Every structure is written in structure tokens, then in C-alpha cells.
Amino acid sequence: MEQAREWIQNASSVAVLTGAGISAESGVPIFRGDQGLWREYKPEDLATPEAFMRDPRLVWEWYDWRRQVIAKAEPNPGHRALVELECRKRRFNLITQNVDGLHDRAGSGRILKLHGDIWRLRCLECRADWPDRRAPLPKLPPHCRCGGLARPGVVWFGEPLPDGMWLEAEHAASDAEVLLVIGTSAVVYPAASLAGIARRTKARIIEINMEETAISHEVDCSLRGPAGEILPRLIA
């Protein structure tokens, strides 16, 4: 802990990668894996363009349920500690795999949302993109002002990351003197490759997770425990 704190204090450039673990500490369930069943469906059955074209109402029922669950969650001390760290560092980038918006609500400003934002909608007809934080939504599936069908503003399985987002994330990782990897299993690509990118440029890599992950043997420091407890101590 002391060594990791020193690395962060001395770094002029810090990047952070967060995953579902930090949100789970706020009560947001892990929507993937064995615990991710909704009715009899897995996320892999619903979070695809094909599933949406086949039954947009069913897919929206799942996302509307997710939005209602997330709306009850609050940013935890881990989220707020990252805001404080951002305020201290002139060069800081927060890269997240999460779509729940908890980093925004905590006050983070420099966020790269690799997998999109569940609180945004996109029109399939006119390509409009707008925020909508209503939970539940009044009508499913929602439509755009132009009359076109709207979809969630997230990245589905089989879709590329948002234009330019991955290039920015790669640059942030390669520019960092310290990369914090928080609450991610490090198995979802391309996000999982960011630690390797940072390592190639000699960055110190600090992992915070409840358990060992796929990259634990590659990092410079692996801290076990909740991000909400470790991060405030780490940047104190």
C-alpha cells in the first residue's frame, strides 16, 4: 500500500480502468455470468443487434429493468476517491467498462466510456443521440421525435467500440506513468489489453480487486479488497 501510494503521488500522468466490481460495491448487480440471468435469458441472448431486431420490446424490457436497478444505486467512496485523484493530476484519464453512469454522478469529468452509456438513447433512423434518465421509461420500446425506433446507447456483443474511443483509451494507457486497474476481471477485450499497453511504456500497474484476476501475475502491485475501502486510503 505504501509503495503504491508513493507511485501515485509521484506520477504526473495517471490512467484508471474500472470494471463491474466498483459498481457492485454500490449495489449494482453483475449482469453477466451465472448471476446475470433475467427471467430465463442471459445477457448474451439479449445484448446483440440481432436480438434487438428480432424483439425490440423484450430487449428494452431488460434494459428498462436494469435502468431501474441502477437508478437506486449511489456512488461509493471508491468513485469519489477517483474524483479527488482527477483533481490532483493534470494528466488523468478514467477509462470505464461500466455503462451505469456512477462515475458521472460522483463528479468525474474525464471519462472514456468504452461500452457506452445506458442513460443515452440512439435513433436507428435519424441517428440522433440523447440522454434520458427516466426509470422506468413511460413507453417500451421508446421512439425518437422523428418516429424512428430508439435503442440503448451501449455497445452490444459483436459491435465495435464507439468511434475514436478505443484510440483515446490506448493513448491514455500508453501515456500513463501509473495505471490503476479496478474491479475488472481483465478477460473482456479489448479493454483487457490496456494493462499490456501500459506495461510496454513502463507504467506502474496497480490492481485493486476482491480476488485474483487474469492479470494479477503481471501487475506491479495487487491489492485485495473493496475499492471503496482501498482507494480512499491509497490517495490519502
pLDDT of residue 69: 94
Q: 3-state SS of the chain: helix, strand, coil percent to 5? A: 40, 20, 40
Catalytic residue flag (residue 115): yes
Given pLDDT bands bounded at 50, 70 and 90, which one contains residue 99?
very high
**23-65 pLDDT tens trace:** 999 999 876 655 556 777 888 889 999 999 999 999 999 999 9
User: pLDDT band at residue 186, thresholds of 50, 70 and 90?
Assistant: confident
What is the DSSP annotation of 160-222? Answer: PPPTTHHHHHHHHHHH-SEEEEES--S-STTGGGHHHHHHHTT-EEEEEESS--TTTTTSSEE
User: Is 2-27+75-115+161-234's fold the same as 33-72+122-154's?
Assistant: no
* Choice between 31 and 15, residue whose per-residue pLDDT is larger: 15
Of the residues 79, 103, 115, 171, only one is catalytic, namely: 115
Q: Which CATH superfamily is domain 33-72+122-154 in?
A: SIR2/SIRT2 'Small Domain' (3.30.1600.10)
Using 50, 70 and 90 to split pLDDT, how confident is the model at 86?
very high
The residues that bridge with 120 in the sheet, in sequence order, are: 131
Tell the CATH superfamily of the 2-27+75-115+161-234 domain: TPP-binding domain (3.40.50.1220)
Domain ranges of the chain: 2-27+75-115+161-234, 33-72+122-154
